[in-house]
């Protein structure tokens, strides 16, 4: 399993402040990014898996919405998170 309890707690500790803070915008964006990277790797091997492709598109849309929200609320955190996660190339 690619997303264990420990990995999830580590993501939220690093980006959300503490492991119990699973509702923070930064933590959610980091978790979505982790999942998107995993699904992208899966789709490179299994290019005909259309259900995974649909899930990936939905996740990217959710992450985009959260990034837009964060950009409106705190532009400095937005820019730091973009650089830290390597979302923009």
Q: List pLDDT tens digits, range 32-88.
A: 999 999 999 999 999 999 999 999 999 999 999 999 999 999 999 999 999 999 998
The class of domain 5-85 in CATH terms is mainly alpha
CB 12 within 8 A of CB 21: yes
| Per-residue pLDDT, 84 | 93
pLDDT tens digits, one per residue of 3-20: 899 999 999 999 988 888
pLDDT value, residue 17 = 84
CA–CA distance, 44 with 25 (Å, rounded to integer):
28
Cβ density class 33-63: b for 16+ within 10 Å, e for less: bbbbeebeebbeeeeeeeeeeebbeebeeeb
Q: Which of 27, 51, 38 is nearest to 3 (CA)?
A: 38
pLDDT at 78: 95
């Amino acid at each position: 399993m690619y997303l264990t309890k420990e990995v999830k707690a580590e993501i939220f500790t690093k980006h959300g402040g503490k492991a119990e803070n699973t509702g923070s915008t930064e933590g959610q964006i980091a978790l979505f990014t982790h999942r998107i990277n995993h699904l992208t790797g899966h789709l490179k091997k299994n290019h005909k898996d259309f259900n995974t492709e649909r899930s990936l598109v939905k996740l990217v849309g959710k992450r985009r919405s959260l990034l837009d929200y964060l950009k409106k609320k705190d532009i400095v955190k937005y820019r730091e998170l973009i650089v830290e996660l390597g979302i923009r190339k």
